[in-house]
Amino acid sequence: MKQTLPFLVFCLALLAACSSKPDAEGIRKDVRAVMDAQAKAWNAGDIDGYMDGYLKSDTTRFVSGANVTVGWKTIAARMKKGYPDRSAMGTLRFYDVEITPLADDAAFVFGKWMLSLESSRPWGTYTLLFRNTDAGWKIVLDHTDAAKK
Q: How far apart are CA 40 and CA 85, in angstroms?
A: 16
Domains recognised in the chain with CATH numbers: 23-146 (3.10.450.50)
Q: DSSP H helical segments within 84-148, as ranges?
A: 86-89
Average pLDDT in the 93-121 region?
Answer: 96
Percent of the chain exceeding pLDDT 70 equals: 85
Q: What percent of the chain shows pLDDT beyond 90?
A: 82
- What is the β-pairing status of strands 61-64 and 67-70? antiparallel
Q: Are 28 and 110 in contact (CB under 8 A)?
A: no
∠ Cα 40 101 12 (to 5°)? 135
117 near 123, Cβ under 8 Å? no
Provide the whole-model pTM: 0.84
